[in-house]
Chain A
């Protein structure tokens, strides 16, 4: 199986605080990988490091390599904007711009040079269809995006990311602030996108990781404790810390 992202000896520090400690992890192309672990385990830091978004935080130091299709994204000659276009991050609390639904999704394509209204309309239709929002919003494209429900906002932000045609999607805390119905719809979206995109998402819900992911990586205190097929890790964890976490003895 082809590897989309290959993390090698990745360490991230915020000032003197160690967020990730020498993490090694491979993420296969077209798969969904769930990052699980308690709060402060380093899930968000790992996601941000996979697209160099961590550099936007003050005092961050990153050591090690992240290979995207065998190219180290931390090389000096790399165009960071290009990397972020290829590997798109949807943060824990997605923030739509105070614009219409149309302009929100058109933001990325316009930045990358798409100007024609018809071309933009096609991109928007395709992106909304992929996240299951087209039927709900096709007649409300000029509506303010911030008036949407939290679940719709999250899917809109995924659609906005898809509009720039990334190869990988990184989603920080899949169910953050969503009710069970909105979470289920979001899971459906990811199951549909899996295969076309490489997906890495952080979650606190074991059932969700079980339903959506092909692979699971358990992090604790900045270290990768265990990584493998979801079924294997959940049924036969190799490390007792993983077992404690997924069985709820420790959270």
Chain B
């Protein structure tokens, strides 16, 4: 009996060791990409971004970073405001009808449509098929693309709030609107903000295919402010054959920005979350 137990224990150790190895192996590509980008990108990043800042001259990479922030903030502002509204409506008001029940699935499907299709929409509908689109078209297209993501994030965060909170609030005479505001959104807002940052970290790198379709003209020469993901794409297409290192710098900067957004999302993870999880069980 004891022998069988020992044998079981040894088999278990072997099985978990194999799974541990698989986990490490699956992380290796990410670590490899990080190290490769770091080794190839730190010098061009220093030369073309950090040094120009230090000596006070114009930096194209810095301008790209600013453009990235600009388009992300602009489009996120639209997407977040509408997304929160959609999330609240589906979670709190339409929860018993078909729209509410299928809402999460519909939003997930919309969020998973490749960005290039949204770019096509922006180019065909918002820019009416013209190249050389304006910033407003780019912002709107990005906002339309991000909206299902943001609504989905909101819906997920609201659905994490235990139904008991809603019932307790309404049992005290609160209306559905007051309950949504003070007993649901109040406790979900930390999670929503945190998830917005995490979602932005992913979305920031996916803007390139969308901008390829709608944003070629205004940034075609790459001399002005060009969002990072698009800059990486254009540099890859135009410069890699000439063995230049600039794309590595841009890619490294993009990665750093995405990781920073992820980190912010993790740091502002709501302090109440454990309490909410505990009360929900």
Query: CB within 8 A of B164: which of A58, A91, A161?
Result: A91
Residue pair A88, B174 in contact (C-beta under 8 Å): no
A85 beta carbon closer than 8 Å to chain B: yes
Q: Known interface pairs A97-B183, A98-B279. Does A84 touch B165 (Cβ–Cβ under 8 Å)?
A: no
A144 beta carbon closer than 8 Å to chain B: yes
Cα A91 to Cα B166 with chains together (Å): 12
Which of B6-14, B78-86, B106-114, B270-278 participates in binding chain A? B270-278
Please give me the 9 A-B residue pairs with the lowest Cβ-Cβ distance, nearest first. Answer: A85-B173, A98-B275, A108-B172, A95-B164, A89-B171, A111-B174, A98-B272, A84-B173, A81-B175
Query: CB within 8 A of A164: which of B165, B167, B173, B275?
Result: B173
A134 beta carbon closer than 8 Å to chain B: no
Residue pair B171, A146 in contact (C-beta under 8 Å): no
Query: CB within 8 A of A53: which of B167, B272, B278, B279?
Result: B167
Cα A96 to Cα B168 with chains together (Å): 8
B187 beta carbon closer than 8 Å to chain A: yes
Q: How far is the CB of A88 from chain B (nearest CB, A)?
A: 6
Residue pair B166, A56 in contact (C-beta under 8 Å): yes
Q: How far is the CB of A36 from chain B (nearest CB, A)?
A: 23
Q: How far is the CB of B187 from chain A (nearest CB, A)?
A: 7
Cα A53 to Cα B171 with chains together (Å): 7
- Contact count A vs B, C-beta below 8 Å: 71
Give the bracket for the number of chain A residues in contact with chain B.
20 to 34
Residue in B closest to A170 when the chains form the complex, CB atoms: B171
A107 beta carbon closer than 8 Å to chain B: yes
Interface SS of B by simple majority: helix
A82 beta carbon closer than 8 Å to chain B: yes
Query: CB within 8 A of B170: which of A56, A94, A97, A112?
Result: A56
Cα A86 to Cα B171 with chains together (Å): 10
Known pairs A107-B172, A107-B183, A146-B278; list 5 more (Cβ under 8 Å): A51-B171, A82-B173, A85-B173, A111-B169, A146-B279
Q: Which residues of A sit under 8 angstroms from B182, Cβ to Cβ? A: 107, 110-111
Query: CB within 8 A of B162: which of A81, A85, A86, A95?
Result: A95
Tell me which of A56, A88, A94 has the highest count of chain B C-beta atoms within 10 A of its own C-beta.
A56
Q: Which residues of B sit under 8 angstroms from A94, Cβ to Cβ? A: 168
Cα A81 to Cα B272 with chains together (Å): 28
Residue pair B166, A81 in contact (C-beta under 8 Å): no
Chain A residues numbered 75-121 whose CB sits less than 8 Å from any CB in chain B: 81-82, 84-86, 88-91, 93-98, 107-108, 110-112
Residue in A closest to B276 when the chains form the complex, CB atoms: A98
Residue pair B168, A95 in contact (C-beta under 8 Å): yes
Query: CB within 8 A of A107: which of B96, B169, B276, B279?
Result: B169
A160 beta carbon closer than 8 Å to chain B: yes
Residue pair B174, A81 in contact (C-beta under 8 Å): yes
Chain A residues numbered 22-39 whose CB sits less than 8 Å from any CB in chain B: none
Residue in A closest to B280 when the chains form the complex, CB atoms: A95
Cα A85 to Cα B178 with chains together (Å): 14
